Structure 1
């Protein structure tokens, strides 16, 4: 049987250390495995399996009875069982409605849900009901191509699998995917596999493809998601300036865009500033050194007057004459000018007057540590160098500590089903 058609719980990627079914602290008996493998041949719960999973009866006690005990002989004795009520004897799992079973299954972990899906046909159908697979976190799962193929068919809405390894995958679904939020940041995934996923997306609102090799097909497919609100393409490469222009024109509702440190030339930068929607409020356009000019900033300010957070770090052509241009951004609260070496310290002291709403200013590498106290006196209401990492459009900001309770959150919400090593 080909791996892309195997049930999620039987895939090779779910065995040994990557297993969602068997974290092998305990090994089930051969008979138990046979019952599980044969469960899908029946519509209802197998009676033998229910008896096997039921609590074991207490050991019957040996008691003395009559003269047999005098001759050192013992017999088993037990109390007469109370006759069961006929109505209660007929009640079983098979009599519970699907709605009630789904409410129970909602509280199972991913591992237990997959184990339960092997019991019988009905439980398999319920275990993969769309309502249970609304959001899934597969971070840490290796060789996850077949598993991802199976998950995509469940009607998933929120998918989190950053830093994952996906071998060759071709999603063959006929209809569009239901994914609204997806994080594939820093994953190893073939461009063709990513194309087969993105080409089926129409409802994306939050997407992070940070650090991935993309293509014009992927970028143009994003144009078919008009409700896109946050897009993180930081560090991406492999797509042309015309494809980028088409995508930005179509995504008119975009509010947060992180397109920093991509493999860009002058044409790419101009495609961004010339086609951004006026709805953008958070923009990271850092890392373009000599490709971002003052004229680009003028166009950007005119097109996006509602920007609140702007990162222009590592733009070596920018000087103090850019401040009168940026002054038009009346709602600017956070400005990053780190390593813009042509901006002098004296020009920064007047930023409090230039930007009355400014609350955060990042000037890493631009102002020496010894000069920060004097700059702080000039800007008493501005936080200096408090955000070393940009959080624009990122599902999990890099400033969060690894292992913290919020580390597995995606855009401030955790996924319901989570893979655990």
Structure 2
């Protein structure tokens, strides 16, 4: 048999030891290559290995991730150096404005004056909503503004309840609101405002309790709007004009709760005066019906006294038709405390000296133009319990009574209360 067909076990280099030949066995060659046999390769000639098995046996073992330890010493294992996370800098304990609730912000905004509140409303949408909250605009004083129309338009939409706007120039104004206004007290005395503009405001009012329209041009539509305010307590229409006697009578009948009425020096006829004395609320306690020289007669006084027995303050000044014959009629007013008969020239000084005995409860008497300064002291001696000529201006239903002393505490107030938001010039 040729050499190339020798049996497997007789091939050199496959025996258990080194075989013949100049280079030795395969084992010696593998050791020369510095490779070590592992596993079944050293098991002997009876082991069979496929190429796939060889790849698996010779492939490196998989690496398992080591658990990182945050400490520098490990009791159960080898020392491992781990990276420690950086500590975040703690932010100081500061509360942002955005974190404050609406209720707290409203309490803060409640302390701001009008100009600052308007500036705050331009910061963001939330602050604008809060700055225009109706709880902040309950009382507003716009006295002193040059052009009041735009400001009045915005203030009326905030749900204002007390509005003071005397001596204002309201140009080309027309209130465009659709809902009812919440105004309870309003002073527009001596303002320049067209009847149509005033009507656009008053037709949305039904909760008025105190109203002053002194010196304004009115209309029958405006007087009809006032009839819707059944809670009206004080009404000042002094010096007004432009409305009829029937409209006035209807308004007085509907507003049966009026306690103070100043309707002096209006553009009245005899019919207007009769509309007042025949329809004024029987519960009225303060009434100013002065300035109707020849229109107010003794018969009108009789009707008035019989209808309104609870009058405490009565101003009949500048009624030239009244004489001393009116004293027995006025004596029926048991609660009369303040009587004004200034410039009633048909009442003589001698008749005035008897007023102290006629009116036992009388405290104040105004007789400007009837008594000279030389006779005033003697009149005061006859009536020591009566103060004479103390108040030259009527206070009936006026929101801000006129006073001789400038800078008195009542200045800027409206019906004895100041407004929270006020224009500062």
Q: Paired residue for 1:284?
A: 288
Matched, 1:257 2:261: yes
Matched, 1:171 2:175: yes
Per-residue CA deviations over 1:275-315 (Å, capped at 9, x if unaligned) read: 01111000000000000000000000011000000000000
The alpha-carbon deviation at position 403 of structure 1 amounts to 3.9
Asked if 2 retains the 8 angstrom alpha-carbon contact of 1:160 and 1:184, the reply is yes
Per-residue CA deviations over 1:242-295 (Å, capped at 9, x if unaligned) read: 000011001111000000000000000000000011110000000000000000
Q: Paired residue for 1:130?
A: 134
Q: Paired residue for 1:21?
A: none
Q: Paired residue for 2:149?
A: 145
Per-residue CA deviations over 1:369-411 (Å, capped at 9, x if unaligned) read: 1111111111111001111000100000111544444211000
The alpha-carbon deviation at position 175 of structure 1 amounts to 1.3
Secondary structure of 2:173 counterpart:
coil
**How far apart are the structure 2 equivalents of 1:285 and 1:84?**
79
Of residues 85, 93, 99 in structure 2, which corresponds to 1:88? 93
**How far apart are the structure 2 equivalents of 1:402 and 1:320?**
37
Q: Paired residue for 1:327?
A: 331
Of residues 186, 189, 206 in structure 1, which corresponds to 2:193? 189
Secondary structure of 1:170 counterpart:
coil
Q: 1:197 to 1:401 in 2, by over 3 A?
A: farther
Unaligned runs of 5+ in 1: 1-81
**How far apart are the structure 2 equivalents of 1:387 and 1:405?**
17
Matched, 1:410 2:411: no
Matched, 1:102 2:106: yes
Per-residue CA deviations over 1:192-219 (Å, capped at 9, x if unaligned) read: 1101011110000000000110111111
Matched, 1:345 2:349: yes
**How far apart are the structure 1 equivalents of 2:407 and 2:328?**
43
**How far apart are the structure 1 equivalents of 2:412 and 2:132?**
23
Matched, 1:243 2:247: yes
Q: 1:229 to 1:400 in 2, by over 3 A?
A: farther
Asked if 2 retains the 8 angstrom alpha-carbon contact of 1:136 and 1:160, the reply is yes
Secondary structure of 1:289 counterpart:
coil
Asked if 2 retains the 8 angstrom alpha-carbon contact of 1:309 and 1:335, the reply is yes
Task: Return the structure number with greater relative CO, CA threshold 8 A, min gap 6.
Answer: 1
Matched, 1:206 2:210: yes
Secondary structure of 2:93 counterpart:
helix
Q: Paired residue for 2:364?
A: 360
| Number of equivalenced pairs | 339
Per-residue CA deviations over 1:83-106 (Å, capped at 9, x if unaligned) read: 7535836x3111100000000000
TM-score (norm 2): 0.78
RMSD: 1.3
Secondary structure of 1:371 counterpart:
helix
Larger Rg: 2
Q: Paired residue for 1:390?
A: 394
Matched, 1:302 2:289: no
Q: Paired residue for 1:156?
A: 160
- More helix per residue: 1
**How far apart are the structure 2 equivalents of 1:157 and 1:279?**
26
Q: Paired residue for 2:184?
A: 180
Asked if 2 retains the 8 angstrom alpha-carbon contact of 1:400 and 1:407, the reply is no
Secondary structure of 2:144 counterpart:
coil
